[in-house]
Structure 1
Amino acid sequence: MKKLSILILLFISTAIYAQKEQVLEPKLENIAWISGNWKGEAFGGLTEENWSEPSGDSMMATFKLIVNNKVTFYEIEIIREVNNTLILQIKHFNNDLKGWEAKDETVDFPLKEITANKVAFEGMVFEKINANEMNVFVDLQQENGTVETVKFNYKK
C-alpha cells in the first residue's frame, strides 16, 4: 500500500509539473512568433503593429492608432538582447512625429519570463493564441495612480 501511495504521488506531481509551461531562454529566436503585420482595435479605433524578424540582436516594430480615419499617435518599439536578457523599449510620437519622450529617453519594459506561447515584460505581455492571432496586454498608469490593463487582440 505504501508503494502504491508513493507511485500515485509521483504520478500526480509529474502531471502537475508537465502542465506548467517550460520557461525558455531570453533569446529573440524564442519570441520570433511575434514578427508579422498585426491589426486590431483599441482606444476607439484601429491599431496596426508591424514586427520584424529577429536580426542584429533585435526586433523592431511600428505601431499606429487610427481614430475617425486620422492617425492619433505612433510608436517605434524594439526588443533587444542586452546582458543575457531582453528589454522592450518604446518611443511615442504625435501624428506629426513630434516625440512624447525627451530626445534620449525611452519607455523601458524589462523581461520577466518567456514560455512557448508568452513573453512577459514588466508592464507588457505578448500572448500567442495561434500563428495568426495574439493578445498584447499593456499596463497603463492612470492619472489617479491606479493601473489599468488594456488588451489588444491582433490578427495577421
Structure 2
Amino acid sequence: MRAFLIAVVWLGAGLGLLPAPSQASEPDEVLAALGWLEGCWAGPGFDGEMSECWMRTASGELVGAFQYSADGALQFSEMLMIGHNPDGAFGYHVKHFNRDFTGWEENGEQVSFEFLALDGDRVIFSGLVLERDGETGLKAFLDMRRSDGRVETVPFHFHRME
C-alpha cells in the first residue's frame, strides 16, 4: 500500500493535468477564501477511514494533520500546509509518516501541489482540487497513477466532524 501511495503523491505533485488557471489570485486572498476549510473532516477512502483537521496559523497559513486507518489501525499520517514552502512556492504541501512516525520524504523535502486557481469555494492545485460541498461537505479530487500506468482522478468525500 505504501509504494502505491508514494506513486500517488508524487504523481499528483508533477503531472499538472488540470487546466491552466482562469485568474491569478494572491496567496493572502487564497488563504482568506479558504476559511471554510478550518476544522475537522472525515470520510472513507482506500478501503479504510480518513480524517484531517485544519487550523490557521498566526501568520495566516493553513496547517493540518491527516490520518488514514484500515483494519482498526493507523496506516500512515501526514502533516499538511497551504502556504509557501521553504523554496517560496505557494501551494498545498505534504509530509508523510509511517505508523511509527518515520518519514517518507527525505529530510527537508515535501510533496508539493502547486497552486493554480481559486474559483469560489474551489481551489485548484496541480494534481489536487479541494471543493466545499455545502455547509458540511468537502470534496477532494486527487490525480493518481494506477499500477498499469493509467492516470485517473479519484474523488474523496468528507463530512465536517462535530
Question: Same-fold call, TM > 0.5?
Answer: yes
- The alpha-carbon deviation at position 141 of structure 1 amounts to 2.7
CA distance in 2, matches of 1:39, 1:99: 23
Task: Extract unaligned runs of 5+ from structure 1.
Answer: 1-20
Q: Does 2:108 correspond to 1:104?
A: yes
The letter of the residue matching 2:90 is L
Counterpart contact for 1:37–1:51, Cα < 8 Å: yes
Matched with 1:68 is 71
**C-alpha RMSD over aligned residues:** 2.3
Determine what percentage of the aligned residue pairs are the same residue: 29
34, 47, 56: which is aligned to 1:53?
Answer: 56
**CA distance change for structure 1 residues 100 and 81 in 2, over 3 Å: closer, same or farther?**
closer
Partner residue of 1:9? none
1:91 to 87, 90, 95: 95
Contact 1:23 1:115 in 2 (8 A): no
Distance 2:153 2:112 in 1: 17
Is 1:29–1:54's contact at 8 Å kept on the other side of the alignment?
no
Question: After superposition, what is the alpha-carbon deviation per residue over 1:107-142, rounded to whole angstroms, capped at 9, x for unaligned?
Answer: 011111002110000011001111211101111233
Q: Which structure's relative contact order is higher, taking Cα pairs within 8 Å and 6+ residues apart?
A: 2
Aligned partner of 1:55: which letter?
Answer: A
Q: Secondary structure at the match of 1:52?
A: strand
| 3-state SS of paired residue (2:34) | helix
Q: Which residue matches 2:150?
A: 146
Deviations 1:55-114 (A, max 9, x none): 314111110111011011101110114799731110111111111111121101111100
AA at the equivalent of 2:65: T
Size of the alignment, in residue pairs?
136
* Structure 2: stretches of 5+ with no match in the other structure: 1-21
Separation in structure 2 between the aligned mates of residue 84 and residue 74 of structure 1, nearest angstrom: 24
Match of 1:125 in 2: 129
**Structure of larger gyration radius:** 1
